[in-house]
Structure 1
Amino acid sequence: MVKIKYIFKSKDKIKSATQEQIDNSLNLSISDFMKYRLTDQIDWYDHKSTFMKKRYQFWKKFTFVCAALTTLSAGINFNKVVTLFFAAAIGLSESILSLQKYQELWINYRTITELLRKERIMFQTKTGVYQNSDYPETDLIERSEAIISSENINWSNLESNNKDKRKS
């Protein structure tokens, strides 16, 4: 069995691994890596993707309802305050969607989830880049970490852009 020395770097704490295991950077088998790191990251990105999708859909539906009610109340010459309230709610919900970037994060997290799942499946079935590899375990770790790392860089860039916009 191939042993791999690996230090855990996760956005959330790893539920299955003890703090001592993380701190000591134990030699882990590839099955431990897949269980404690790869599967953990797939689950995290899947959960976040679902969460962002629900938030995005909630605010979009809210916007649609307010738009319909604004049109209806204006069309029947209802109370102007109510019409203005619905119009303001549309502006507020669109601002929230623009600022929080729920759709962008949903798509990004879903993409990362699917890429990590693809890597895991290709490794398990010894297909793709793992078919003729001399070191498939090392390739899996490097490729998986590259996917996670690229998302972390994208997140960092997104956060710095958001801070710049808030200062303006």
Structure 2
Amino acid sequence: MTDSEYLDQRLDDQLKWYSAKSANNRSWFNRLRMLDISAAALIPFLTGLGEKVPQGNWIIGALGMAIALSTGAQSLFKFHENWIRYRGTAEQLKQEKFRYLSGSGPYANMASDERFRTLVDRVEALLASETSTWATETKQAAPAGGAGPNGQP
């Protein structure tokens, strides 16, 4: 595999994946937080209106339930944590690519083939670390003594 093939097929592909996943997690986090904030702001407002709002108690209860569901989803799916982690990984991949292309940092004063091997080693170590972190977090989040959500241990 040449360096341009590696950059194209592996590094750029992973960079796009992490950037897209970061953006998706950021979007979900922001939506759910806005739901929390909006619902929490409406509850005292509706309570203050009292009997003037038909079915007000039901609406207030539904808003409270929406907050609980939103907060639970944020905790379960870790949108904030994933957004930050994926963005960090994407930025590290980007830095590695630009250091390699410019011949700076760890790539300074290296022969071309040595620079390429160093790039592959550093990028693959970064991706392996990310995969290891994901596996550890997934294992810790699994229900105790049983199968995960898809029936697998």
1:123 corresponds in structure 2 to 100
Does residue 164 of structure 1 match 2:108?
no
The Cα offsets for residues 4-43 of structure 1, whole Å up to 9 and x where unpaired, read as xxxxxxxxxxxxxxxxxxxxxxxx1111111100111001
**Counterpart of 1:91?**
68
Pair 1:138-2:117 in alignment: yes
Q: TM-score, normalised by structure 2?
A: 0.87
Question: Which residue identity is paired with 1:31?
Answer: S
Taking CA–CA contacts closer than 8 Å with sequence separation of 6 or more, which of the two structures ends up with the larger relative contact order? 2
Deviates more, 1:112-121 or 1:153-162: 153-162
Q: Paired residue for 2:133, among 154, 163, 167?
A: 154
Q: What's the C-alpha RMSD, in Å, of the aligned pairs?
A: 1.5
Equivalent of residue 41 in structure 2, options 50, 68, 77: 68
Q: Residue 112 and residue 136 in structure 1: after superposition, are their counterparts in 2 closer, same or farther (change >3 A)?
A: same
Unaligned runs of at least 5 residues, structure 2: 147-153
Query: Please, which of 35, 42, 47 is the counterpart of residue 8 of structure 2?
Result: 35
Shift of residue 164, structure 1, vs aligned partner: 3.2
Q: How far is the alpha carbon of 1:140 from its aligned partner? A: 0.2
Deviations along 1:62-120, whole A, 9 cap, x unmatched? 11111111121112224212111111111111011011100000111000000000000
Structure 1, 66-75 or 118-127: larger mean CA deviation: 66-75
TM-score when normalising by structure 1: 0.79
Partner of 2:110, secondary structure, is: coil
What amino acid is aligned across from residue 89 of structure 2 in structure 1? I
Aligned-partner Cα distance in 2 for 1:120–1:63: 39
Residue matched to 1:107: 84
Of Structure 1 and Structure 2, which has the larger fraction of its residues in helix?
Answer: 2
Structure 1 runs of 4+ with >3 Å offset: 164-167
Q: How many residues were matched structurally?
A: 140
Q: How does 1:9-88 map to 2 (within 5 A)?
A: 28-77=1-50, 78=53, 79-88=56-65
1:166, distance to aligned residue in structure 2 (A)? 9.6
5+ residue gaps, structure 1, are 1-27
